């Protein structure tokens, strides 16, 4: 395919997969249970954090996290006390366990009480969004934390594609006109977003000659970002739906 044909094909696939039907198969269904901005943010951030592995398992674990927080994540985070720690006992999703979740709740409490919430930490206009993720991680771990927990927040400046945080940002920033993403963060433009690069999107991008680099890392993400911004400079990450759908559902 030439570039015009490729764009037409990917536009069609993005349109096909960005629909309400997508939600039932995706961790984004968890924040869709809420209507308050802060509840959506926290449910989305935690669900995205554990979004690796079997999707049924991801959804089961995300629902368990919401149940631990009495299905009121913002209220739970804001009023978290040390005595609440017993509620976390036994929680585990792959390598993310009760100690990690407990620290995440403490860190989120600190962010909402002392930094104005999640959105302002990603909204600086002086640096790229991937650099903002790096700065966010520093703030997130400004409290005393278990060393094992640090690995659960990726850092693009240390070579990571930061798939889960980029997915969370897509959810928060892109328009909700199709009923999938939320569009509740107005301080970041969709044009600033990067694709949540994973096995499916990476493999399909290589098959379509959008990506040469073999590893799914920060350099690959930068390479793919440049190609997708040429296809749609205003909303390059809409192609996440096309690439993921082709890989996960169509085995393209």
Q: Can you read off the two tokens belonging to residue 169?
A: 């940002």
Residue 79: count other Cβ atoms within 10 Å of its Cβ: 10
Bridge partner residues of 217 (DSSP): 160
State the pTM of this model: 0.96
Residue 180 is given by DSSP the state S
Query: pLDDT band for position 82 (50/70/90)?
Result: confident
Q: Can you read off the two tokens belonging to residue 76?
A: 């739970």
Q: Can you read off the two tokens belonging to residue 52?
A: 């690796």
- pLDDT value at position 85? 84
Bridge partner residues of 93 (DSSP): 96
Sequence-distant (6+) residues with CB within 8 A of 184 are 37, 40, 41, 172, 176
| Position 213 pLDDT exceeds 90 | yes
pLDDT digits (tens, 9 = 90+) for 180-197: 999 999 999 999 999 999
| Position 61 pLDDT exceeds 90 | yes
| Position 125 pLDDT exceeds 80 | no
Every domain of the chain and the residues it spans: 3-248
């Amino acid at each position: 395919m030439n570039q015009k044909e490729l764009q037409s094909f990917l536009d069609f696939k993005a349109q096909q997969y960005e629909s309400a039907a997508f939600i039932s198969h995706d961790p984004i269904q968890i924040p869709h249970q809420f209507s308050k901005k802060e509840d959506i943010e926290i449910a989305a951030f935690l669900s995205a954090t554990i979004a690796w592995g079997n999707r049924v398992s991801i959804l089961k674990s995300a629902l368990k996290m919401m149940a631990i927080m009495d299905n009121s994540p913002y209220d739970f985070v804001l009023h978290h006390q040390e005595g609440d720690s017993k509620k976390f006992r036994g929680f585990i999703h792959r390598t993310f366990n009760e100690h990690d979740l407990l620290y995440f709740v403490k860190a989120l409490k600190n962010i909402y009480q002392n930094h104005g919430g999640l959105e302002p930490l990603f909204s600086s206009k002086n640096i790229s969004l991937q650099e903002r993720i790096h700065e966010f991680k520093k703030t997130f771990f400004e409290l005393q934390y278990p060393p094992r927990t640090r690995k659960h927040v990726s850092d693009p400046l240390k070579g990571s594609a930061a798939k889960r945080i980029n997915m969370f940002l897509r959810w928060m920033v892109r328009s909700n006109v199709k009923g999938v993403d939320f569009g509740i963060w107005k301080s970041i433009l969709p044009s600033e977003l990067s694709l949540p690069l994973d096995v499916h999107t990476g493999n399909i991008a290589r098959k379509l000659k959008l990506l040469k680099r073999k590893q799914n890392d920060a350099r690959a993400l930068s390479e793919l970002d440049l190609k997708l911004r040429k296809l749609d400079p205003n909303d390059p990450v809409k192609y996440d739906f096309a690439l993921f759908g082709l890989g996960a559902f169509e085995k393209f």
